Structure 1
Amino acid sequence: MSTPTEEPELPAAEPVPRSRLRMQLVWLVPIVAILIGGWLAVKAVMERGEQISISFKTGDGLEAGKTKLKFKDVDIGVVEAVSLTRDHKRVVAKAEVTRDVSDLLVDNTRFWVVRPRISGGTVSGLGTLLSGSYIDVDVGNSTKARRDFVGLEEPPAIASDVPGHEYTLHGVGLGSLDVGTPVFFRRIQVGQVSSFHLDPDGRGVTVKVFVNAPYDRFVRTDTRFWHASGVDMSFDSNGLRLETQSIVSIIIGGIAFESPPGSQVETSADSGTRFELYPRRADAMEQHDRIVDKYVVNFTDSVRGLTVGAPVDFRGVVIGEVTAIYTRFDSKTRQFSIPVEINLYPERFTSRYQNDGAGDGGRLTADPRALANYLVERGLRFQLRSGNPLTGQLYLAVDFFPDAPKASIDWTKTPPEMPATPRTLQSLQDSVSRLLTKVNNIPFEDIGKDARSTLRTTNAMLGQLHTQVVPKAFDTLLSAQSTLDSANAALQPDSSLQQSTEDAMRELTRTAASLRTLADYLAQHPESLVRGKSEDKKP
């Protein structure tokens, strides 16, 4: 019988202290996960872009999560939410902009929604028909940061980084101008209209134009701007003239500028300089005078065809213009008259050549009142004349009329009143009236009586001629006719007189032949006159 095998004794368990290192390894994974999560969270917070809000009048083209913000066609953000303001009048777009462009968010940075537009003759935003609308950004130059903006409803005509200068123009009307309308210099497009608005008093409009570099150096302090819209048509002594800047200006309008002829100014105008916007080039290029003398000319004849702005002409040179036309009733004489106010420009008499004895300040004399009195005493008068027979327009002419009645300037009135003389047509009418007066004074009744008496005497004489002279004259005519008939019969070819005449002519011919024979014989035998004709000897 076998004995059981003894199992070896197990060693006694000895307690081993717990290792701290093993505990850290167990928690290492969650700790690392927490650290990674925290790092990602911190990174997300650190990389999170700037939050801005942009308000627009409408939400057209805005869509949360899709509408991008772009600067120079590079995505810099996205619209996260679109909502209405509390008063429901505007739309607010909440957008996130990447942090690396946060320095672009300054006070005068501009935002606008890019969508298809046609404005000022230009078409923009056609690419958004496929890609969708987006918000474009034009960075300002301010140093003040900003996060709440008011978006533009129309894209700015000029970006802030485009070199050039902006100028302010003031005119009486906008015409066909719009934002983006071209600006021309010598028919080359050098800029465009950037904005416009109505004056607070409603008496004009202010237009801002931007001229690109390097063309902005041609805008000088004396430069003139004018409307170049459509076609400028004028009819003068040189015929019909048509002027335009380009086909574009005919369709959408435009503005042109140029310095006046003969200008010596070389100083370029600063940005923001204010200029006058004239309706036409002819108005812009008119001479601008520093001295203006105001007068009134009182007319008693019709001024139909005379308008405000009509020229005051001295022998073909424009020296002023009409500024106002009124009517006046004189309670003493109970007559109506037409006072016409005018502006005269004394500098136009000395604009190019210095006159002997010219006074200071561009005048002909230092005492203009004494000169005016002297000229009026010598017959200086104002007269209405026809400027265009086709349209009936009148202008005011200044000239000397030595035969005009004596007159003087009424310096007691404000403005002083200058004497006038009737125009040529009126003078002709006065002459006709005087002629008719003289004709009316002719004694036509007495002349008629004398004429009737003369007619009776004439009739009596004609009766006597008919009863006495006419029969005798008729007999005389009959006798003359008979004599002519006899003479005509005698001259007929078969008449006896004609035959006798022919016989006589034949006899005369034979006689002439005999005389010629005799003469020949005597020439050969002159001795025959003494001896006689010798007999021919026979052989």
Structure 2
Amino acid sequence: MSKAKISSVWFVPIVAALIGLWMAYQHYSSLGPLVTITMANADGLTAGKTTLKSRSVNIGKVESIILSDDYSHTIVQARIDKPYAGMLVEDSQLWVVKPRVGRGGVSGLTTILSGAYIEVRPGVSDKLRDQYTLLQEPPLGDPDTDGIRLSLYSEGNKSVEAGTPVNYKGFEVGQVEQVSYNTEAARIDYILFIKAPFDDLIATNSKFWIQSAIQLKMNTEGLSVQMDSMESLLSGGVTFGFAKGENPVGRVASGDSFKLHVSEKEATEGNFERFVPVLMFFEESIANLGPDSPVEFRGIRVGTVIEAPYRKPIESEVMSKNGIIPVLVHFEFERWFDGSDIPTNEEWYAEMQEMISRGFRATIQTGNVLTGARYIDLDFYDDAAPVSEPLIQVAHNAGFKMMPSIPSGLTRMAEQISSIMKKIEQLPLENTVTELNAVLSNANRAMATFDGAAAKLDKILINEESDADLAATLEQLQKTLATYDSSSALHQDLRQTVQSLEHVLWELKPLLEMVNQKPDAFIFGGQVKDPVLKKDTTE
């Protein structure tokens, strides 16, 4: 039997098939990985046209765009060129580049003609990844820039946006990269990036606060206005520094946390390590007196109100009956003592008790007429009432020392006026007026009698009437004059009336003298003479 021979015609399709397989192998072997990107919508993206870029270099293309099974979001599949497959790792970031108007200005204008594209920022992880969630906004900060990232937190309202610059003495040294709300801690968390070499300016005792674009200051020289750059005026900013008298202590590392204060004053003046807690009790309104309100002694700040009113439960019948309001304050030694002269708490308590025995009291005053802000003023008062022993026990039971208080100037003036009015009401004015009217009536009758006697005397002297008539007239005159004798009832009534009037005028004398010397005393109250402080020489 003869063997079947393969016709040479088959060589052509076989070679073609092998070439096709080789080409197919070459094509698929050259393809990069396929990644899945989840996004809210595919606005501006087109399958087979939209590209993936990194630093303006094409690294892939979108192959398909479909809806998720529940139609709640969009799923985009994109093919990455094989040479760039290593860019897609766990910490890589993807976002859509398109025209945007933000805090930093207008970006993405080049996409108006070329169309939107997906930007890829490679990560530093060594673990590959093929599924990503698209970022809604472009990430802030360049990963290749040297510097540190710090965490800030604030318990107030949100007042800083992502992209807000971080300034230091007029230089932009970083920016706020992220803003989020921490539901567990009930606060706002911020991520800041500080560029090198400015990161060397941050120390463990640095203070961060929100920068005010416009600062108004009013003093004895007038009103001064300080304004930062127009950019700061429009976008605001965050800045940092140190508390007054402090020097940098220790270096910080990425991830360290700091509190974001609302103002420079709060940041640089509200943090003192040495303080004495004292509980004060007030029998008047504490409206507009709250946390961070100053405590002053003759214009010098010596402490801060911590809690007004003090809300922890204090069981006291004395407080509930009189409506007394407790206020917790801190006496901050570092405000008026040098570091080497700061006394111990026991030494300060002993000194405070000695001052209290000399009339040292607290009172609430108005610090700003426009805003109504109030503060606690400390001073010596000669007419201070004795310290309430029950309130001392109440403070002791709460774990504090007690500082006694007196009513404010307006309250004291109102009490003084009320006391004077009560004394006037208690005077027997009605009886006095009645007695005075009776005296005047008797005086009128006496004068009429005297006039009649004088007329008769004239007739006697002129007509030379009989001695009997003269004797009768003289007898009548003696009776009339007797009514004015010191032992007569008329004289006694008149004397009592004059004494009552003199008593009324004596009660009104202090008020009249105060108004005569200082007409505005009804508004501001009288001045209290400052006692002369003497240095304690006892050892």
Same fold (TM over 0.5): yes
Question: CA offset at residue 182 of structure 1?
Answer: 1.6
Asked whether the equivalents of residues 173 and 198 of structure 2 are also in contact (C-alpha less than 8 Å), the reply is yes
Write the distance in 2 (CA, Å) between the matches of 1:238 and 1:326: 38
Write the distance in 2 (CA, Å) between the matches of 1:187 and 1:451: 85
Give the one of 126, 134, 138 matched to 1:143. 126
Asked whether the equivalents of residues 195 and 208 of structure 1 are also in contact (C-alpha less than 8 Å), the reply is yes
Which residue does the alignment assign to 2:52?
69
Which residue does the alignment assign to 1:400?
380
Look up the equivalent residue of 1:43 and give its one-letter code. Answer: Q
SS in 2 for 1:54: strand
Unaligned runs of 5+ in 2: 452-539
Write the distance in 2 (CA, Å) between the matches of 1:80 and 1:333: 77
Give the one of 288, 291, 294 matched to 1:311. 294
Which residue does the alignment assign to 1:429?
414
Write the distance in 1 (CA, Å) between the matches of 2:336 and 2:370: 34
Asked whether the equivalents of residues 244 and 269 of structure 2 are also in contact (C-alpha less than 8 Å), the reply is no
Write the distance in 2 (CA, Å) between the matches of 1:429 and 1:26: 124
Change (3 A) 1:176 1:385: closer
SS in 2 for 1:142: coil
- For 1:402-481, what aligned pairs fall within 5 Å after superposition? 402-407=382-387, 409-410=392-393, 411-416=395-400, 417-440=402-425, 444=429, 445-446=431-432, 450=436
Write the distance in 2 (CA, Å) between the matches of 1:332 and 1:163: 63
Runs ≥4 residues deviating over 6 A: 23-28, 326-330, 454-457
Asked whether the equivalents of residues 210 and 238 of structure 2 are also in contact (C-alpha less than 8 Å), the reply is yes
Question: Which piece of structure 1 moves more, 408-417 or 159-168?
Answer: 408-417
Change (3 A) 1:366 1:24: farther
Question: CA offset at residue 298 of structure 1?
Answer: 1.5
Q: Which has the larger radius of gyration?
A: 1
Question: CA offset at residue 266 of structure 1?
Answer: 5.5
What fraction of aligned residue pairs are identical, expressed as a percent? 29
Write the distance in 1 (CA, Å) between the matches of 2:41 and 2:90: 22
Which residue does the alignment assign to 1:227?
210
Question: CA offset at residue 69 of structure 1?
Answer: 0.3
SS in 1 for 2:308: strand
Change (3 A) 1:377 1:237: same
Unaligned runs of 5+ in 1: 1-19, 356-361, 465-539
Write the distance in 1 (CA, Å) between the matches of 2:167 and 2:68: 43
Write the distance in 1 (CA, Å) between the matches of 2:157 and 2:423: 60
Asked whether the equivalents of residues 206 and 241 of structure 2 are also in contact (C-alpha less than 8 Å), the reply is yes
Write the distance in 1 (CA, Å) between the matches of 2:248 and 2:184: 34
**After superposition, what is the alpha-carbon deviation per residue over 1:81-136, rounded to whole angstroms, capped at 9, x for unaligned?**
11122232221211111111111111100101111222334322122121100000
Give the one of 20, 43, 50 matched to 1:37. 20
Look up the equivalent residue of 1:373 and give its one-letter code. Answer: Q
- For 1:86-485, what aligned pairs fall within 5 Å after superposition? 86-201=69-184, 203-228=186-211, 231-235=214-218, 239-265=222-248, 267-322=250-305, 323-325=307-309, 331=317, 335-348=321-334, 351-352=337-338, 354-355=340-341, 362-364=342-344, 366-407=346-387, 409-410=392-393, 411-416=395-400, 417-440=402-425, 444=429, 445-446=431-432, 450=436
Asked whether the equivalents of residues 276 and 345 of structure 2 are also in contact (C-alpha less than 8 Å), the reply is no
**After superposition, what is the alpha-carbon deviation per residue over 1:447-497, rounded to whole angstroms, capped at 9, x for unaligned?**
67558867977x979x99xxxxxxxxxxxxxxxxxxxxxxxxxxxxxxxxx
SS in 1 for 2:28: helix
Question: CA offset at residue 330 of structure 1?
Answer: 6.7
Question: CA offset at residue 245 of structure 1?
Answer: 3.7
The count of aligned residue pairs is 438
SS in 2 for 1:92: strand
SS in 2 for 1:58: coil
Which residue does the alignment assign to 1:55?
38
- For 1:21-36, what aligned pairs fall within 5 Å after superposition? 33-36=16-19
Asked whether the equivalents of residues 205 and 249 of structure 2 are also in contact (C-alpha less than 8 Å), the reply is no
Look up the equivalent residue of 1:219 and give its one-letter code. Answer: I
Change (3 A) 1:73 1:351: farther
Tell me the TM-score normalised to structure 2 length. Answer: 0.72
Asked whether the equivalents of residues 278 and 331 of structure 2 are also in contact (C-alpha less than 8 Å), the reply is no
Question: CA offset at residue 215 of structure 1?
Answer: 1.9
